[in-house]
């Protein structure tokens, strides 16, 4: 699979929108969840195609929803602070380039512990990792 500069940029922006308060390890875990969707092995994947396609597929990552407060930053209408985006770019590049292993055990889903109520799917899924403010899952029904 060819990874474009757009893929790298969109993944880094997604990490900023979804996990900017996390450590580098937390950002890497979120990036791996996205990578696991990219490489799920299905043709014409429901998740979307490539990193940008998966990240920007409607309703998969709330930071890309037009009503989300992160969206103006992700879309470029507002500027993300350079250092914050740079750290997200480091995590994105390490995961895309295969320089770090998957700490999530193959997770394709996560949710932030800051949510008032866990998503309904979490009750029937297999939890693989709790890291920082996120819980990671696979085998989501």
User: 24-38 vs 82-96: helix axis angle to the nearest 10?
Assistant: 50
What is the sign of the dihedral through the CA atoms of 140, 64, 90 and 19?
Answer: negative
Q: What is the pLDDT of residues 79-101, one digit of tens each?
A: 999 999 999 999 999 999 999 99
Domain count for the chain? 1
Pairing of strands 134-138, 126-131: antiparallel
Answer whether residue 81 is part of any domain: yes
Domain CATH for 25: 1.10.10.2520
Q: What is the pTM of this model?
A: 0.94
Structural domain span for residue 40 = 5-105
Taking only the tens place, the pLDDT of each residue in 29-74 is 999 999 999 998 665 567 788 999 999 999 899 999 999 999 999 9
Determine, yes or no, domain membership for 41. yes
- Residue 110 within any structural domain of the chain: no
Torsion of CA 123, 17, 89, 81, to 10 degrees: -150
Is 35 among the domain residues? yes
The answer to the question of residue 14 being in a domain is yes
């Amino acid at each position: 699979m060819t990874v474009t500069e757009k893929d790298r940029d969109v993944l880094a922006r997604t990490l900023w929108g979804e996990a900017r308060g996390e450590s580098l390890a937390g950002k890497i875990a979120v990036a791996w969840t996205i990578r696991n969707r990219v490489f799920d092995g299905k043709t014409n994947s429901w998740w979307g195609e490539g990193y940008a396609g998966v990240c920007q597929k409607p309703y998969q990552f709330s930071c890309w929803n037009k009503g989300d407060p992160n969206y103006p930053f992700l879309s470029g209408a507002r500027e993300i602070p350079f250092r914050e985006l740079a750290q997200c770019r480091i995590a994105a590049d390490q995961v895309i380039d295969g320089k770090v292993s998957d700490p999530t055990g193959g997770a394709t889903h996560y949710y932030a512990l800051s949510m008032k109520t866990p998503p309904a799917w979490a009750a029937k899924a297999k939890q693989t990792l709790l890291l920082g403010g996120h819980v990671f899952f696979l085998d989501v029904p």
